[in-house]
Amino acid sequence: MTTWFRAYDEDEDLWLYFEAADDGWATRQVEVRGKDSRPVTAASLKEVLHVRDHAGPEEMLRYERQYGVLAEAPLDGWQGWPEAAGISEDEFERLWTQARRTLGVQPDLADRGS
């Protein structure tokens, strides 16, 4: 079952939004800076795997510069994170669309989950 949630990273002043698969791994991730509400990450597991499997390391670096880095560990236990809370799929989709638009991909071209 897919889960959507948010958490706050006080050290970085970032709101973190995740779409996680039932195995606890992030399938999509959005990060929004607190000070100006600007999206800085909108990474997708599906895209990361595609780039990893079909392009070279330079292409992966280009992807990460544009869309950020997807969480590289299971997100189990997120309920205990600071200011963590479940969010709706609709809220995540709204944030995803806005972040992808800001970071340079038209939302209708962005993948929807994995």
- CA 47/CA 99 separation, integer angstroms: 15
- Split at pLDDT 50, 70, 90, the class of 113 is very low
Specify the pLDDT at position 110: 44
- Percent share of the chain, pLDDT over 70: 91
pLDDT of residue 81: 82
Q: What is the mean pLDDT of the chain?
A: 89
- Taken in order 3, 7, 12, 13, the sign of the CA dihedral is positive
pLDDT of res. 105: 59
